[in-house]
């Protein structure tokens, strides 16, 4: 007998509700720097200080970025890039990305998610292997599944584990794919070791730098440059525009041969409408800020804020994960405790997301606190004071997987 979809959906919903795994969206009515007017779960509007966005440099509201967006104003992309959607703004942005990343070619995508699907599907197929860090972003996992290759996952940050898995699959082509900065942990992949492994195992190293681009390395050029690597060791990398660059979209950057292959074959780029030119112009403006003296000042300010938060947390005995980036997770363990903590912070005026499985491993629920160059000292101190009031913050109960 055919399975009934409606029964299955109802059962899954009941299980989610029982396990406190139902997710809700919060509507943000207005933004003013890190202050957001938000509609609460109770329907009431209140102003909260945002400690969960990925706008690490505050560029989503930067006057030059907004001016570029308005100057290029156009509602749509009109067609795919290969038909007639590739505008001057897109071409300018691709060239600016190449100059910034010191790589020969760049190709735009509507999102980082689409780019990761596209890259792995374009490079790999049956008989090939994709070896990935266990904590990689969902889009990399999905890309390998879509490609139809063998997907192997190694323990978090373990270059030797990557080498073993590549060694166990000596036939067929191989891609070693990793997040550069892990989105839920904030730590940085051992890129130099992984590059050495990729070299000895004859695998292509693909680095997803969604959270490093704009904030790490010289000129905010990202994790690859910060590790002293270039296109020779990392022939393809992903930069996304939705995090530190304050916009939306992504680019895959790398060698001429690989990027040309993506242009010709990447289904998630070919069969979709180009991003609006205004969005490309806004991202180019954000890139200009990132590479300027102001960009250096914003990164320095972000580092000061990270240091202030971490030292304050250490004084309070908060068990933060060992992260040097803007992502500063506070492990809580149980889903219910993480939710309670997030709600307690909201009642004090702070917006911090509770991240629960399956986004993180079972027993690994946490607050994902993110810092921005736009936070003021007293706002960070206020968040620390609110955390100190919340008993859940000080008594983590990790069960597994941390
Ligand atoms: C956010 C993110 C993506 C997806 O990028 P979008 O542009 O938001 O689709 C991919 N990889 C990592 C590591 C991310 O954090």
Provide the pLDDT for residue 395.
62
User: For the stretch 204-234, what's the b/e string if a residue is b when 16 or more beta carbons lie within 10 angstroms of its beta carbon?
Assistant: bbbbbbbbbbbbbbebbbbbbbbbebebebb
How many Å lie between the centroid of ligand 1 and the Cα of residue 375?
A: 23
Q: Give 371 or 357, the one with higher predicted confidence.
A: 371
Pocket test for ligand 1, best of 56, 108, 112, 191 (most atoms within 8 A of CB): 112
Ligand 1 lined by 210 (C-beta under 6 Å) = yes
Pocket test for ligand 1, best of 242, 247, 272 (most atoms within 8 A of CB): 242
Is the separation of the CB atoms in 246 and 58 below 8 Å? yes
286 pLDDT more than 70: yes
User: What is the architecture, at CATH level 2, of domain 64-290?
Assistant: 3-Layer(aba) Sandwich (3.40)
Phi-psi region of 363 (alpha: psi -120 to 50; beta: other; left: phi over 0): left
Ligand 1 lined by 112 (C-beta under 6 Å) = yes
Confidence of residue 124 (pLDDT cuts 50, 70, 90): very high
* Token pair 């040309």: residue: 260
347 pLDDT more than 70: yes
Mean pLDDT of 372-380: 98
Q: In the chain, list all ranges with CATH 3.40.640.10.
A: 64-290
336 pLDDT more than 50: yes
Mean pLDDT of 71-90: 88
Give CA 136 to chain center in angstroms: 10
Mean pLDDT of 323-329: 96
pTM: 0.95
299 pLDDT more than 90: yes
Q: In the chain, list all ranges with CATH 3.90.1150.10.
A: 22-51+293-394
CATH fold group of domain 22-51+293-394: 3.90.1150
Token pair in block for residue 234: 């990392």
Helix (H, G, I), strand (E, B) or coil at 58: coil
User: Which residues carry out catalysis?
Assistant: 183, 211, 243
Contacts 24+ apart (CB under 8 A), 148-154: 148/124, 149/120, 149/124, 149/125
């Amino acid at each position: 007998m055919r399975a009934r979809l409606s029964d299955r959906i109802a059962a899954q919903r009941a299980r989610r509700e029982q396990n406190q795994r139902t997710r809700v969206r919060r509507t943000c009515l207005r933004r003013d720097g890190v202050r957001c007017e938000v509609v609460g779960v109770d329907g009431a509007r209140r102003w909260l200080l945002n400690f969960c966005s990925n706008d690490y440099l505050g560029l989503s509201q930067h006057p030059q970025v907004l001016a570029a967006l308005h100057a290029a104003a156009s509602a749509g992309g009109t067609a795919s890039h290969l038909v007639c959607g590739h505008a001057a703004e897109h071409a300018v942005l691709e060239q600016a990305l190449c100059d910034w990343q010191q790589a020969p070619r760049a190709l735009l995508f509507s999102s980082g998610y689409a780019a990761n699907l596209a890259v792995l599907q374009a490079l790999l197929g049956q008989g090939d292997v994709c070896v990935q860090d266990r904590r990689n972003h969902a889009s990399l996992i999905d890309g390998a599944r879509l490609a139809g290759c063998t997907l192997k996952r190694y323990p978090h940050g373990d270059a030797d584990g990557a080498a073993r898995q590549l060694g166990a699959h000596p036939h067929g082509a191989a891609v070693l794919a990793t997040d550069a900065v892990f989105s839920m942990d904030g730590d940085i992949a051992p890129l130099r070791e992984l590059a050495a492994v990729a070299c000895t195992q004859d695998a292509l190293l693909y680095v997803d730098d969604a959270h490093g681009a704009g904030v790490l390395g010289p000129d905010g050029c990202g994790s690859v440059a910060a590790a002293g690597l270039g296109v020779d060791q990392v022939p393809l990398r992903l930069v996304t525009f939705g995090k530190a660059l304050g916009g939306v979209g992504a680019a895959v950057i790398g060698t001429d041969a690989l990027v040309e292959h993506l242009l010709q074959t990447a289904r998630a780029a070919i069969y979709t409408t180009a991003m609006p030119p205004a969005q490309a112009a806004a991202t180019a403006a954000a890139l200009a800020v990132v590479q300027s003296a102001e960009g250096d000042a914003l990164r320095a300010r972000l580092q000061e804020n990270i240091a202030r938060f971490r030292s304050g947390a250490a004084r309070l005995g908060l068990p933060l994960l060992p992260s040097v980036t803007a992502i500063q997770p506070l492990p809580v363990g149980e889903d219910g405790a993480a939710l309670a903590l997030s709600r307690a912070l909201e009642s004090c005026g702070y917006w911090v997301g509770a991240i629960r499985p399956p986004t993180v491993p079972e027993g690994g629920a946490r607050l994902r606190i993110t810092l921005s160059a736009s936070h003021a000292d007293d706002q960070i101190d206020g968040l620390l004071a609110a955390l100190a009031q919340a008993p859940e913050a000080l008594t983590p109960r990790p069960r597994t997987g941390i």
